[in-house]
Every structure is written in C-alpha cells, then in structure tokens.
C-alpha cells in the first residue's frame, strides 16, 4: 500500500513549486506536452502524486527527468498552476533524495547554507595560497592536482553511490526484472542522451537554438575539462592546445551570458522562475569560462606574475564549482537526466521481453 506524506506539498515548496495547488485536473498540460506519450504520460500524473503526497511513487518515477522544461504546459494551463515548474522542482527534490550525504537538500532549501559553503571554500582557498607563500608556480601545480583529485573523489564518493541509490529507487524497488543483456543494449541511450540531449529537439516549441546552445555548452565544457585537466592547459607549450582552450572557454562564456540574460529578462516560460541553484549554476559556469580565459591570456602576455590574484580568483571559482555545484547543485541534473533516459530504456526493454 502506498505511503502518503501529508506534508509533501509543503516540502516541495522549499524546492520551488508553489502554484500546483491551483490545478483542477483538466489534463491540458499532458495533452500539450509533446514528450508525453500514452504509456508514459506527464505532467498531470506528477501533479496528482504531489497533491496526494505519494512520495514513494515520485521517488520511483523517472518522468520528472523526461521533461526538458520547454514551458508549453505552463503556458497552456488555464489555472496558472505552472506544471513545468512543478516538474523542475521535482527534479531538484529527486536530486536531494538520490544524494546519500543529504547536502544537496540542505543547499537547495537554504540560501544561507549555500552562501556559507561558498565563503568556506573561498576562505580555504586563501589559507591554501597563504600556506604556499602566494607562490604562483606552486599554487598552479597544486591547483592542477586538486582538479584531478576532485574529479576522482566526486565520482567515487558522491556520484557512484548516488547513481546506485537512483537505480535502487527506480529499478530495483519497483521490481523491474532486466537481464544483463538489456542493461548492455540500453547503454547507447545513456551516451547519446548525455552528449546530445536530443529529446529537447522533440519539444513542440521546436526551439532548435536552445538545443544548439545546450549542445555547444556541454561539448565545450567537457572539452575544457579535458584540456585543463589532462592536457594541462595552463602549463602547455602546444599552440593547438592553447588555442583549443581559448575557443572552449570563449563558447562557455558567451552561451552562459545568454542564459543569464534570458533569466534576467524572463523572456521564455522556462525562465519565469529562477531558484538560487539556477543562478549559481549559470553564473559560476560563466565565471569559470571567463577566468580560465584570462588566466591563460595573462600567461601568454607575461602578465600573470604581477597579477597572481587572477589565478586565485579562478581557483576559488573552480573549487566552489567542483566542491559545491558539481556534486550537490544543478550540475547533477546533467548526470541524472542521462541515467534516467538509460533506466527508462531498460524499463521499456524489460517490459517488451
């Protein structure tokens, strides 16, 4: 029997959704959503579950991840119940549920906690620089080691356990029986969705420019990560790698500037509501692109030794990104959405076998 949490609606409001109470169950949102199908329909079902407080059903559902927040359903809702924002809030709530540390939930619910965490990392960075007597060469060397170890640690300590929890909630607990072959056959979907987010193109609004921006941003971000971590961008002599890093950081900067400006202007339905986690994600990504670009520019123009602050600013942004936003913030949506597509494919293959 389903467990009902009568306080669920109040809990979800801490993750951003407040208007879904106005829903009178007409179904327009599900009818207009071009990603919703007869076998896999949303968002109305998610609104019903939320209103009833069916927490376990929501935790087992992959539907919040099937939504790419085009905003069509919110525009078409006769009651302004904002179903698109409900789906977004459910994704934040699910992220908090998957996270074994509980820190995602704390940071999503409390702006104060987020600011404190950012200040803590900033202070740690200053202590680190001071302990090295502000020696730029040493700071850059250890900064590079930090980047490599942060990726490994976040993957091992946070992401793998959290993905196992997601798998448990969505596949094991609902008793989906799938063979190893099914897991293997569905693997292609994981990578295709991770790198292309191609379902975004299926949205009724056909906002191909939004899809293209996301696509270039994901590719530029992953390539910049590779260029700085594995090709040691700040320390390389290779002209090809240097130019590659400039191009990647430039694209990250201009696309995130466009994202920030859309959020400020609220020009699209998907930008009508912005939580602190949304701002933090785009602004820090923008700053990452900008500061990385300038660190390398200062190196190439011989200005870096007299402008160590530039590297310290970059390292602070990078550390806050790697220790707060990537493991516990909106960055995780990229990972969980890709795995949701993978698990969804496993579910469909398991049913048809």
Give least dist CB 85 to ligand SF4, A: 9
Minimum distance between the CB of residue 326 and ligand SF4, rounded to whole angstroms?
A: 24
In whole angstroms, give the CA distance from residue 79 to residue 87: 16
Q: For ligand SF4, which is the closer residue by CB, 91 or 97? A: 91
**Where are the extended beta strands (E) located within 234-345?**
none
Q: Pick the binder of ligand SF4 from 8, 49, 65, 68 (CB under 6 A).
A: 68
In whole angstroms, the minimum distance from the beta carbon of 154 to ligand SF4 comes to: 28
Residue of 221, 213, 220, 244 whose CA lies nearest to 231? 244
- Joined together, the tokens standing for residue 127 give 């202590």
The H-or-E segment that residue 316 falls in is: helix 308-320
Q: How many CB atoms lie within 10 A of CB 116?
A: 12
CB of residue 15 vs ligand SF4: minimum separation in angstroms? 16
Question: Taking the complex as a whole, how short is the minimal distance between the CB of residue 208 and ligand SF4, in angstroms?
Answer: 15
Q: How far separated are the first and last CA of the chain, in Å rounded?
A: 27
Residues 203-232 that bind ligand SF4 (CB under 6 A): 203
Q: Whole-number minimum distance, CB 78 to ligand SF4, in Å? A: 6
Among 54, 58, 62, 73, indicate the residue that binds ligand SF4 (CB under 6 A): 73
Query: Please, what is the minimum distance in Å from the beta carbon of residue 82 to ligand SF4?
Result: 8
Among 83, 245, 327, 329, binds ligand SF4 (CB under 6 A): 83
Owner of token pair 């080691």: 145
Question: Is 16 a residue that touches ligand SF4 (CB under 6 A)?
Answer: no
- Closer residue to ligand SF4, CB minimum distance, 36 or 220: 36
Position among 33, 182, 290, 324 found at the interface with ligand SF4 (CB under 6 A): 33
* 150 is a contact residue toward ligand SF4 (CB under 6 A): no
- Return the CA Rg of the chain: 21
For residue 130, give every residue at least 6 positions away whose Cβ sits within 8 Å of its Cβ, in sequence order, or none.
Answer: none
Interface with ligand SF4, residue 87, by CB under 6 A = yes
Q: Which two tokens stand for residue 231?
A: 């090709």
**Interaction between residue 90 and ligand SF4 (CB under 6 A):** no
Distances (CA, A) of 64 to 47, 167, 241, 329: 11, 15, 39, 17
Q: Report d(CA 250, CA 196) in Å as an integer.
A: 20
Query: How far is C-alpha 42 from the geometric centre of its chain's CA atoms?
Result: 21
Cβ distance 324 to 330 under 8 Å?
Answer: no
From 12, 29, 217, 317, residue interacting with ligand SF4 (rule: CB under 6 A): 29
Quote the least distance from Cβ 215 to ligand SF4, whole Å. 17
* C-beta closer to ligand SF4: residue 25 or 131: 25
Q: Does 284 bind ligand SF4 (CB under 6 A)?
A: no
Q: What is the largest CA-CA distance in the chain?
A: 68
Site residues (CB under 6 A) for ligand SF4? 23-29, 32-33, 35, 42-44, 47, 67-73, 77-79, 81, 83-84, 87, 203
């Amino acid at each position: 029997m389903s467990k009902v949490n009568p306080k669920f609606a109040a809990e979800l409001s801490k993750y951003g959704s407040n208007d879904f109470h106005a829903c009178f169950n007409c179904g327009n949102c599900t009818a207009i959503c071009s990603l919703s199908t007869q076998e896999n329909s949303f968002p109305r079902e998610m609104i019903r579950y939320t209103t009833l407080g069916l927490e376990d059903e929501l935790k087992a559902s992959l539907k919040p991840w099937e939504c790419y927040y085009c905003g069509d359903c919110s525009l078409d809702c006769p009651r302004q119940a904002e179903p698109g924002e409900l789906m977004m809030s459910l994704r934040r709530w699910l992220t908090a549920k998957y996270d074994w540390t509980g820190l995602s939930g704390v940071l999503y619910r409390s702006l104060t906690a987020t600011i404190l965490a950012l200040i803590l990392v900033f202070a740690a960075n200053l202590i680190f620089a001071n302990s090295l007597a502000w020696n730029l060469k040493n700071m850059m060397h250890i900064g590079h080691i930090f980047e490599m170890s942060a990726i490994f640690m976040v993957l091992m300590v946070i992401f793998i356990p959290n993905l196992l929890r997601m798998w448990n909630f969505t596949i094991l607990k609902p008793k989906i029986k799938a063979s190893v072959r099914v897991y293997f056959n569905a693997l292609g979907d994981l990578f295709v969705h991770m790198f292309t987010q191609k379902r975004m193109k299926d949205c009724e609004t056909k906002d191909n420019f939004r899809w293209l921006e996301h696509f270039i941003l994901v590719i530029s971000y992953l390539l910049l990560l590779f260029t700085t971590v594995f090709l040691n961008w700040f320390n390389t002599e290779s002209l090809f790698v240097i130019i590659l890093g400039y191009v990647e950081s430039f694209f990250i900067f201009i696309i995130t500037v466009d994202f920030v400006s859309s959020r400020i202007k609220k020009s699209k339905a998907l930008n009508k509501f912005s939580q602190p986690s949304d701002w933090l994600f785009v602004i820090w990504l923008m700053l990452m692109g900008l500061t990385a670009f300038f660190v390398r520019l200062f190196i190439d123009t011989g200005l870096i030794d007299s402008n160590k602050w530039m590297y310290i600013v970059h390292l602070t942004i990078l550390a806050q990104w790697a220790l707060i936003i990537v493991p516990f913030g909106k960055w995780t949506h990229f990972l969980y959405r890709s795995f949701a597509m993978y698990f969804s494919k496993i579910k469909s293959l398991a049913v048809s076998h």
